[in-house]
Amino acid sequence: MTTKEAGGTVHGPDFIALQVSDLESSKQFWVEKVGLVPVPKSPPGAVVFATQPIPFAITTPKIELKASSRLGWGVALWMHTDNAEALCARLRKHGVRILSEPADGNFGRQFSFADPDGYAIVAHDGR
């Protein structure tokens, strides 16, 4: 039986969320340091940001985050920016931990940084 015969077709991700240990602290990080804008209304226990083409959110944890030695291990979260070098400089100025310096990659200039919980985020400026 094919996916079509079963009545559904997967089109790809349409929502991404990170479970965070401190919702308000993480909201402050994503707004003040990264520059994301929250949507006017989010569900309880979440902050949804006005990102395109896929919505991005942070949520209260559904698991015990401290039980993991490395959050998001094996998952790659990539975010598009119009200028990887400028974003890296701004994040560095705000004291954000840069995990890898900007370099040319398959998706333009790219670098990675850590959010307050230690999730590794890759930012790139190509397509």
List, for residues 68-95, the tens digit of each pLDDT value.
777 777 677 899 999 999 999 999 999 9
pTM: 0.81
Which residue's structure tokens are 């994503």? Answer: 30
Range of the domain at 118: 14-62+74-124
Rounded to an integer, the average pLDDT of 15-42 is 96
Q: Is residue 117 part of a domain?
A: yes
Work out the pLDDT band at 7, boundaries 50, 70, 90: low
Whether residue 6 is contained in a domain is answered as no
Q: How many other C-beta atoms are found inside a 10 Å radius of the C-beta of residue 70?
A: 9
Residue 67 resides in a domain: no
Residue 68, domain member (yes or no):
no
Residue 5 located in a structural domain: no
Placement of tokens 């949520």 in the chain: 59
For residue 94, the domain's CATH number is 3.10.180.10
In a domain, 53, yes or no: yes
Compute the residue count for the chain.
127
Amino acid residing at 41 = K
